[in-house]
A and B are shown apart, each in its own frame.
Chain A
Amino acid sequence: MDNDTGGWQALSVFLPSVYSDLDEDTGGGCVEIVAAFLPSARARCEAIVAAIAAGDAPELKRQAHALKGSSRVLGLERLAALCERLEVAAAEGHGLAVWRQPVEAEVAAAIAALENHLGQG
């Protein structure tokens, strides 16, 4: 399986310091931002899986790019790095099928980390 390029697996799922900085910068807005992120991340994950199945590299790149941005701002470092790797894979345009399982797993891990963090708050 050729999906380890870039070392995204070694990164943290969630960086609480990034999240707390964002919360301060947005005047305590992170609860609302997370509420927007959760359905968006699920929808983009489904769109990524569909694009992989269809071999639609431009759509895969667009969805991965969008998910990269929204995950990085919340401190979801590993999902953001995986999405960046997906953008590269989409640009290369081959071997896309190997990315389905990692994407689904990382989106689930990111959502669980956010929900766990909110639960602790």
Chain B
Amino acid sequence: MMAIALPMDALVVDDERVNRLVAGKMLAKLGFTVAEAEGGAAALDLLDKRRVSLVLLDISMPGLSGEDVCRAIRERWGREIKVVAYTAHSMPDEKKRFQECGFDNLLVKPINIGRLVAALAEIGIDCGSA
């Protein structure tokens, strides 16, 4: 897999602001330009107006779930956007279900910057020595 170089635009989608801030600040520290959305519908609206390269997507949200949003992203934009499930769900059967929905990878909360960098490296995003 060819490594994708920074800088990149990222979108963090989570109904809990604490989780958006945590992931957003880590991504910003790594050199990403970060946007936030507090729900699935807002995320899809934002993606219509502003394309990003990476989406960190919570699963358990009111309204559209993360799985619904991932399916919608794949229908509209194919595989051009990397989508990572950002979730406290980590059961083996759930990981398989996320892959079937079209997620590129899984990042289990609580996160730290090392695990974030590793999860991005697994999908070809090289954060260098940040």
Contacts and interface: CB of A to CB of B under 8 A. Distances in A.
A28 B15 CA distance: 23
| Main SS at interface, chain A | helix
Contacts of B16: 40, 66, 69-70
Contacts, number: 58
Interface stretch (A19-27, A91-99, A102-110): A19-27
A4 interface: no
A26 B19 CA distance: 12
B26 A69 contact: no
A66 B110 contact: no
Contact of B112 (A25, A33, A70): A25
Interface residues of A, number: 20
28 contacts: A21-B112, A22-B22, A25-B25, A25-B29, A25-B113, A29-B22, A32-B21, A33-B18, A33-B21, A33-B22, A37-B18, A40-B16, A40-B18, A62-B60, A62-B62, A65-B60, A65-B88, A66-B15, A66-B60, A69-B16, A69-B18, A69-B88, A69-B110, A70-B16, A70-B18, A72-B110, A73-B19, A73-B22
